[in-house]
Amino acid sequence: MRSVPKVLLSSVCQPFGAKYGDGFGTSYEGTHQLMWAQGIFRTRGTTTQWGIDFIATNLKTPTTVLHYPTMSAFIAELKKGYDYVGIAFVSPTLHKMLPMVDAIREHAPNSKIVLGGYGTALGNEFLEPYADYICKGEGVAFMRELLGEPVDAPIVQPDITQVQSLLSIPLLKPTGYIFAGLGCPNGCDFCATSHYFKRRHIKFLEDGASILHAMQDMRAKHPGMDTFWINDEDFLLNQKRGRGFLEAIRASKMPPLSISIFSSVKALSQFKASELVEMGIDWIWMGFEGKRAGYAKMQGKPYPELIADLHAHGITVLTSMIIGFDYQNPDIIQEEFEELLALRPSMAQFLIYGASHGTPLFDRMTAEGRLDAEMYADHSKHDGFSLGFRHPIIGAAEMSAIQRRLYRDEFRRLGPSVFRVAEDFLGGHIALREHENPRIRAKAERYGHDARAALRIIEASKSYVSAERARWLQSLEDRLVQATGPMTIREKVERKLAPALLLRETLKLKLKIKQQPEFTRKTYRMPQTELMPFLFPQVQRANA
């Protein structure tokens, strides 16, 4: 091993899809599990394995990072010579990780193999034949110790952004990722991420001021950036840190922001909706789960009251529902589904109750002898779209059929999420544009601007939805024009082009054109001679 080691960190390889052994819920896009039934109206964007960039940023060792390489690109990289090769994977992508291990042993036999990611919950006994080291828990500390670097050195925020698109056109502005913490203390029995960190919350940003400073640093790198995702499993649960962020925003000169977060009823009940608007929070993912689930995070304001108040302030809400609790039968699932639809979520997720390795639910199902051994042997089905245990009432095939139907019915009855979000923003614009607080007024102005982007495609979209939803779209267009002014000449021209965009996207989906992730290669502290051929991230797709 050379005096200064080199590290290669990689996601699993592309391509993705059923014909490559992937389960229905496995994708390189975060929106797949939310909006797969919405077809051309699903927002698109490659979701990178941000954890390996986070680790690379916080090492001193020369490191290369690959996101979704083809196997040929991965092998080509291996041949450049690395002392350690790390692969980030989850249980549903085990079948993608194993050939990569074989490739390392064939083409880089002297490299030490490190396996990391939530897939390591499968256990050391299972994974030891495939690795020299298994990284469980927080990866920066693990890799620093492995490489002989100071474990307690300060954590640096990585520079990670994403651009979402709709109809192959960039949607609004790039989003900057802010990594506030890992792990969740709520400890829901099914939650792999909470129990992976043993119900501990690992803070990367200690207080509200440090979160704001991280945003300001991102804006220095990306001038004008005002859209952020705060990565924290239940942001605002720590009320002191949440209020510290509110105070820091109030004292700052930041423009009206657009911030997306994970949160819970318990956390959100500690704040007024107007305070969330001041912070810039306008997209919240919260668990609806099941009516009798009884998780502590569900305690607080009643769901109808809370979500109606959020919508009234222009805040979009993604609700996640679980099916497969022991108490549920098909009628109860439908009943809870109707309650969820009555909340008019901006987006929704419907996953099957999953006994992930390392969770109390897995332990309970094992103890009760209810695990489906055949399903658990097929790791591709550990994706939230397959029932992995014997339910007292509903069989596996019926459970999957119910799940698919819920997704389709939600889309059919509520319409495309992109227009629901526009409606939320329009409501916030109208309700808050005369607000006494200047920061909230500024946010209301942004709501109106962002909502107006929907005008270009509303007319063309009517023929892709039901008659009832088409009337709703016409109403939305009328209200947008009334509140924000008549369409400009440019907007009218873009509206004329919209039918062609929708048709193009329909054909791309049908013919599977450009349905694979972008491949990116990043280098950190590598010698200049190795950087020269790769001055910019490489982008390529598999031919599938």
Read off the pLDDT of residues 205-223 as tens digits, 9 standing for 90 and up.
Answer: 999 999 999 999 999 999 9
Which residue range(s) make up the domain with 114?
Answer: 7-156+518-534
* Token duo for residue 27: 């994708």
Alpha-carbon span 440 to 428, nearest angstrom: 10
- The answer to whether residue 418 is domain-embedded is no
Q: Residue 541 pLDDT > 50, yes or no?
A: no
Same-domain status, 133 and 167: no
Residue 542 domain-assigned? Answer: no
Supply the pTM of this predicted model.
Answer: 0.93
Task: Give CA–CA dist 74/67, Å, rounded.
Answer: 10
Q: Are strands 258-262 and 227-231 parallel, antiparallel or unpaired?
A: parallel
The answer to whether residues 121 and 165 belong to one domain is no
Regarding whether 300 and 370 lie in a shared domain, the answer is yes
Residue 116, classed as helix, strand or coil, is strand
pLDDT digits (tens, 9 = 90+) for 104-145: 999 999 999 999 999 999 999 999 999 999 999 899 999 999
Residue 2 in domain? no
Q: What total of structural domains would you count in the chain?
A: 3
Which of 338, 369, 403 terminates a domain? The answer is 403
CB-based burial of residue 278 (10 Å sphere; 0-12 exposed, 13-18 middle, 19+ buried)? buried
Tell me, yes or no, whether 169 lies in a domain.
yes
The Cα 408–Cα 410 span in angstroms is 5
Domain check: are 165 and 301 in the same one?
yes
Residues 223 and 337 both lie in one domain: yes
For residue 524, being part of any structural domain is answered with yes
Residues 527 and 486 in one domain: no
295 domain-assigned = yes
CATH number of the domain where residue 196 is located: 3.80.30.20
Task: Give per-residue pLDDT as tens, 340-398.
Answer: 999 999 999 999 999 999 999 999 999 999 999 999 999 999 999 999 999 999 999 99
- What is the distance between the alpha carbons of residues 26 and 17, in angstroms, rounded to a whole number? 8
Nearest Cα to Cα of residue 454 among 306, 316, 264, 278: 316
The CATH number that applies at residue 64 is 3.40.50.280
**Tokens representing residue 94 in the block:** 């085990």
Statement: residue 531 has pLDDT above 80:
no
Shared domain check, 173 and 145: no
Residue 416 inside a domain? The answer is no
Are residue 459 and residue 325 in the same domain, yes or no?
no
Chain centroid to CA 91: how far?
Answer: 17
Backbone angles phi, psi at 163, to 5 degrees: -115, 120
Domain edge (last residue) among 352, 369, 403 = 403
Whether residue 280 is found in the same domain as residue 368: yes
Position 214 scores a pLDDT of 97
Give residues with Cβ within 8 angstroms of 390, minimum separation 6: 370, 372
Has residue 540 been placed in a domain? no
**pLDDT attached to residue 528:** 59
Both 147 and 241 in one domain: the answer is no
Could you tell me if 378 and 492 lie in one domain?
Answer: no
Q: Quick one: tokens of 141?
A: 């500390």
Q: What's the confidence (pLDDT) of residue 301?
A: 97
User: What confidence category does residue 2 fall into, taking pLDDT thresholds of 50, 70 and 90?
Assistant: low
* Sequence-separated (6 or more) residues with CB below 8 Å from residue 271: 236, 239, 242, 246
Judgement on whether residues 429 and 494 belong to the same structural domain of the protein:
yes
